[in-house]
Amino acid sequence: MKLTLRVWRQRDADAPGAMSTYDVDGISADMSFLEMLDTLNEALILRGEDPVAFDHDCREGICGACSLVINGDAHGPERTTTCQLHMRSFRDGDTIDVEPWRAAAFPVVKDLVVDRSAFDRVIQSGGYISAPTGSAPEAHATPVPKADADSAFEHAECIGCGACVAACPNGSAMLFTSAKINHLNVLPQGSPERETRVLDMVAQMDAEGFGGCTLTGECATACPKGIPLPSITAMNREWLRARRKVKG
């Protein structure tokens, strides 16, 4: 395949950015989107130009590092991570726009790389448990109802990629935050911090500058792990319950 790429280039956080146009040739339909960008970068390096900076780590849909807006969609046209998007989703001769996540709380570091440390701070504010859970053989010592275990597992699938924020017109992180809260709050091991967790994580989310939720649902549509929109409703219920319990 031969493609035209329009890629966001930005030297650093303070420099103005702009789209730059590149032609790439010899792209196989079996290549991943990141391998296609590798091909572009090899050509740029051979020409003595600065390669395009983009985030990646596992390239297996696990780590959440890859983060590109492709033709206006977070992670592109398929419901998956950018690293698991393959070039068979595009046609020979296509023009593809490639941009970084766009959100006030995710400032651009360089080109397609954004600073997502705001997510780390939200996690640090309450996304943990203090209860000793023992070693693996003791895992069944605390029975967990099947429905709760399934719910915790569903929410634990969030890889913190930030597609929910990038897709949301408000730059809201409520789907991400709700996944992290619901994962732990439904489990007995998470109950000692049940109230402080939701109050502190929501407060930190707000402090980081993420927008509010207006239930457009774009976040759940873009989420590569299928975190459902009602997760936000569950978090709001937890927050109201915690406020009542803590404030009286």
- 188 CB burial (10 A radius; 0-12, 13-18, 19+): middle
Q: List all residues 6 or more positions away from 92 whose beta carbon is below 8 Å from its beta carbon.
A: 1, 2, 3
Which of 62, 104, 139, 207 is in the footprint of ligand FES by CB under 6 A? 62
Query: Which strand (E) or helix (H) includes residue 150?
Result: helix 146-156
Question: Does residue 64 bind ligand FES (CB under 6 A)?
Answer: yes
Question: Does residue 59 bind ligand FES (CB under 6 A)?
Answer: yes
Bridge-based pairing of strands 95-99 and 3-9 is: parallel
Q: How far is the CB of 35 from ligand FES (least distance, A)?
A: 12
Nearest C-alpha neighbor of 169 from the set 70, 237, 85, 74: 74
Tokens 């989310």 found at: 205
Q: Mask 160-199, x = binds ligand FES (CB under 6 A)?
A: ----------------------------------------
Segment near ligand FES (CB under 6 A); pick from 9-17, 81-89, 130-138, 191-199: 81-89
Instruction: Name the residue nearer to ligand FES (CB basis): 6 or 59.
Output: 59
Q: What is the number of other CB atoms lying within 10 angstroms of the CB of residue 197?
A: 23
Question: Does residue 157 bind ligand FES (CB under 6 A)?
Answer: no
Q: How far is the CB of 67 from ligand FES (least distance, A)?
A: 8
Which chain residues interact with ligand FES by CB under 6 A?
A: 56-59, 61-66, 81-83
